[in-house]
Structure 1
Amino acid sequence: MEYTHLGETGLEVSRLCLGCMNFGSGEPWMINDREQSRAVIQRALDLGITFFDTANVYSQGESEEILGEALAESDRVRSELAVATKVYGPMHDGPNGQGLSRKHIFEQADASLERLGLDYIDLYQIHRWDDETPIAETLSALDTLVEEGKVRYVGASTMPAWKFAKALYEADLNNRERFVSMQCEYNLVDRHEEANVLPLCADQGIGVLPWSPLAGGFLTGKYERDADLEEGRAASDEFMEKRFTEENWDVLEGVRDLADAKDVTPAQLSLAWLLHKDLVDAPIVGPRTIDHLEENVGALEVDLTDEELERLEAPKTPVWNAEIGDV
């Protein structure tokens, strides 16, 4: 395993982050087996992965519980691990059940710590922007969590660049804890963030943690251009359907050709493309099996030339759609 620093901080993280959204029973496509989930986490630890990302809203806290159980069972030293979770999504019906108010953040930070079985969260992230809460209130609450020792660093996820810039400015102006990382959708077929938040991250020294680095499985090569997509997640998920365009099929064709030439899998090549991006600290991989996890880790051994990187990127021109950032 390789390691790097998160953004401009001193926090060392593995070059791959294990995403934990699949751990739980919230959706049919999730693992739905705690023992299997813990086995994947344990294998990740054995492979040197020390960076884990979850969220309170994943299966309504079940993902955090599973991660906490697995880490408690492991023999890894806590100081070596970087555990990240998120706040924003709905956790209960009625008033104050979601968002980034001071009340909700404080309650959910404590709840996440209890589910994780930890004394502190390494990276606490706002899952989305909250238009109903002033960013000054949100930053004040996060700042307090850091001062109390419950949180070490704060990060953000999925928003238009102008909103993220507003948050960074507010933090600088009022001496609040500054966001050190940005989680954003980023992969070979979803490159819209190159026209949105990534230039800001480069300018401000923000670490980038791409989610959906394999485009929901599209870049693994498991789908065929002319196949009938009547089964599985692709048949029912509008988020997946957007990827089945002629332009994206052209990208996948290039991935497959180069992967064959290098004797690696399309998934490994696609992850290697991200790992070659200077801005990217750690793609968030979400394997459902140990075999998939081991395949993902193999991406660290794939070298790409500048010409190969350009060839993979050639079919697409990144364009920012404002609707994407507000999902």
Structure 2
Amino acid sequence: MDYQHLGRSGLRVSRLALGTMNFGDATDEPTAFQIMDTAVEAGINFFDTADVYGGPQRPDMEQGYGISEEIIGRWLAQDDSRRDRIVLATKVYQPMGLGRNDKYLSAYHIRRACEASLRRLRTDHIDLYQMHHIDRATPWEEIWQAMEQLIREGKITYIGSSNFAGWDIATAQNAATSRNLLGLVSEQSLYNLTARTIELEVIPALRYYGIGLIPWSPLGGGLLGGVLRKTSQGRRAGEQVQRQIDQLRPRLERYETLCADLGEQPADVALAWLLHNPAVTATIIGPRTTEQLDHSRRALTITLSQETLQELDAIWPGPGGEAPQAYAW
């Protein structure tokens, strides 16, 4: 397993991060335990979850479940040594109750959400506490004051963001600097061969401020996982996915042919492409089985030639570079 500093911090994390969104939903608890055991044995030390993970939110109640955190907590409780072997990351923002203040990034909700996550995770500290989305209705002075308090109390160590725009990252970091805080060390963004918008402004902002990038949905919701051979199976048989496949079929055919010529699985090539980007610290994988976890490790050993990278750009073109040169002079 390869490891890299999380942004400009001194913390080293595995280049594959174990995403646990499926725990409690598509993956039952015994299987989740097996996946976590296998991940640690493979050298994966970066576990990512969120307070809201563990099943679909109930539209009628706008309430999160916290089941994924509870499963991780019960796994940690089985062996006291496990906690010190992983970098544990979770998130705050999504609705976790029916109250008006049971969501978003007010100081009130941040404090309560953190304490609830600690209880579910059965730990006394969170290594990376991530804002799951931007909350432009709450001033940064309030957000950073709440985070500072949690740091002083030893409840969190590092702070990250997720789904932030480039200017949100800059605004957040400048506000943190004014308070003599380290600020953000990571950003989780939607990023894969089919979704490259963050190359315009998010990635340049991360590079400028020394913030690590953690892509989520690296396989584009399964589209980059050899979908043409699996169109009749599982979630890929759904109407919405079928429409996406039909729209992208020419590109998918070229992509899967290229992967076959390389002698590699499409999912592994998609992960390897992300890991070739110097902005990427680690990419999140969300295995539903131990077999899927084992397969993902292959990406760490794949080296893509410049010719192959150019071909991937031709199949899945990005936005044309960084802003403003991508659309102006």
Q: What is the TM-score of this pair, normalised by structure 2?
A: 0.88
Q: Corresponding residue for 2:123?
A: 118
Q: Does 1:182 align with 2:177?
A: no
The worse-fitting range, judged by mean Cα deviation, of 270-279 and 170-179 is 170-179
Task: Confirm or deny: 8 A CA contact 1:189 1:251 kept in the other structure.
Answer: no
Give runs of aligned pairs for residues 225-244 of structure 1, distance below 5 A. Answer: 232=235, 235=238, 243-244=244-245
Task: Confirm or deny: 8 A CA contact 2:227 2:236 kept in the other structure.
Answer: no
Unmatched tracts of structure 1, length 5 or more: 321-327
Equivalent residues, number: 310
Q: Corresponding residue for 2:253?
A: 253
Identity %: 42
State the 1:170 CA deviation.
0.9
Task: Confirm or deny: 8 A CA contact 1:57 1:90 kept in the other structure.
Answer: yes
Note closer, same or farther for the CA distance 1:20–1:77 as it changes in structure 2 (3 Å cut): closer
Q: Does 1:169 align with 2:174?
A: yes
Q: Corresponding residue for 1:34?
A: 29
Is the partner of 1:219 in helix, strand or coil? coil
Q: Corresponding residue for 2:2?
A: 2
Q: Distance in 1 between matches of 2:182 and 2:113?
A: 18
State the 1:317 CA deviation.
3.5
Q: Distance in 2 between matches of 1:159 and 1:22?
A: 23
Q: Distance in 1 between matches of 2:183 and 2:176?
A: 6
Q: Distance in 1 between matches of 2:141 and 2:244?
A: 36
Q: Does 1:98 align with 2:103?
A: yes
Q: Distance in 1 between matches of 2:254 and 2:5?
A: 31
Note closer, same or farther for the CA distance 1:134–1:155 as it changes in structure 2 (3 Å cut): same
Which string of whole-angstrom CA distances, capped at 9 and with x for unpartnered residues, describes residues 2-39 of structure 1? 111111111011110000000013xxxx22x2111111
State the 1:243 CA deviation.
4.6
Q: Corresponding residue for 1:84?
A: 89
Q: Distance in 2 between matches of 1:150 and 1:251?
A: 46
Which string of whole-angstrom CA distances, capped at 9 and with x for unpartnered residues, describes residues 64-107 of structure 1? 01112223335755333100000000001122110101110001
Task: Confirm or deny: 8 A CA contact 2:106 2:143 kept in the other structure.
Answer: yes
Task: Give the residue type in structure 2 aligned to 1:51.
Answer: F
Task: Confirm or deny: 8 A CA contact 2:88 2:128 kept in the other structure.
Answer: yes
Q: Corresponding residue for 2:157?
A: 152
Q: Corresponding residue for 2:268?
A: 268
Superposition RMSD in Å: 2.2
Q: Distance in 2 between matches of 1:242 and 1:283?
A: 27
Note closer, same or farther for the CA distance 1:234–1:118 as it changes in structure 2 (3 Å cut): farther
Q: Distance in 2 between matches of 1:88 and 1:141?
A: 13
